[in-house]
Amino acid sequence: MTIINKEKCVGCKTCIKYCTVEAIHYLPEEKKCFVDPKRCTECYVCIRKKVCPLGAMETIPLETFYHQFQHVMSDPVENHGVTGVTGRGTEEVKTNDVTGRVKKGFAGFSIDMGRPGLGVYLKDAEKVAMAMAAAGLEFEPPENTPLSSLMTDMKTGKLKDDCLDYHLLSVIIEGNCPISQMADVFRALQKVEKEIDTVFSVGLILRVDENGENLALKELDELGIPQPHRGKVNVGLGRPLCTL
């Protein structure tokens, strides 16, 4: 865990401006800074960048699995052991033309929670996951996306109770549903966004026809959601999987 050595700290407050989630505070009565363990995401930015001029920023061993999960998910240079991907441990169907994770007739969702610079408690990630599951989303398995490894029930999106109070820099909820249920998932997101204390962005993954079109995008107009004006495109180098 990230701590500040009080014997070295002189209260200069230099470290405070570097924290991405405002987890470092100043104690006027002690004239020292400290790290709020409930707010810290264990991203280790302050450690890697050596932001304290006196070297007061230190770490102690991460004792629990959830602390280790928190660190690996929040530190962009860490490799997630199960998926083998750094950062948040997922490729977010960026290689869909190779993997075929989102097939024809389905809509993929990639919900990026916590950014920019706000963080996300897993209890809020659970709320969003459960709302999407109830609307028809089927989650990616743990070997593709780390959050699924914390689920006690992949059908409902329920997370383990003892992980809910952990704070991560960000986390991604991934899954897909038949296109016929895409609007239901968006409605669930519109409702649950008012029930959480963080932000999220929605990544929508759709197959296009030979003209680069997908009629399902018109459903966004009916939901009052602006159609995307930018995105990432798989060029089809992974054929024949891209035809699935």
DSSP assignment of 134-192, as one string? HTT-EEPPTTT-GGGGGEEETTTTEEPGGGTT-EES-EEEEEEEEGGGHHHHHHHHHHH
| In a shared domain, residues 129 and 199 | yes
Provide the number of structural domains found in the chain.
2
Q: Is 113 helix (H, G, I), strand (E, B) or coil?
A: strand
- Residues 157, 88: one domain? yes
Q: Of 36, 61, 86, at which residue does a domain stop?
A: 61
Report the percentage of the chain scoring pLDDT > 70: 96
Residue 133 inside a domain? The answer is yes
CA distances from 166 to 64, 171, 172, 193, 244 (A): 11, 12, 15, 19, 38
Q: Please tell me the predicted confidence (pLDDT) of residue 242.
A: 53
Do residue 143 and residue 98 come from a single domain?
yes
Are residues 54 and 93 located together in one domain of the fold? no
Count H helices, E strands: the chain?
A: 6, 12
pLDDT tens digits for 156-166? 999 999 999 99
Per-residue pLDDT reduced to its tens digit, 79-126: 888 888 888 888 887 777 778 888 889 999 999 999 767 899 999 999
Q: How much is the mean pLDDT over the chain?
A: 91
71 in any annotated domain: no
CATH of the domain at 41: 3.30.70.20
- 95 with 133, same domain: the answer is yes
The domain of 164 spans: 77-243
Among 34, 61, 88, the domain boundary falls at 61
> Is residue 227 domain-resident?
yes
pLDDT exceeds 60 at position 155:
yes
- Judge if 22 and 129 occupy the same domain: no
As a whole number of angstroms, the distance between CA 186 and CA 221 comes to 12
pTM assigned to the model? 0.91
Residue 36 within any structural domain of the chain? yes
* Bridge partner residues of 173 (DSSP): 111
Final residue belonging to a domain, choices 61, 89, 109 = 61
Output the pLDDT for position 30: 95
Q: Let me know whether 55 and 89 are in one domain.
A: no
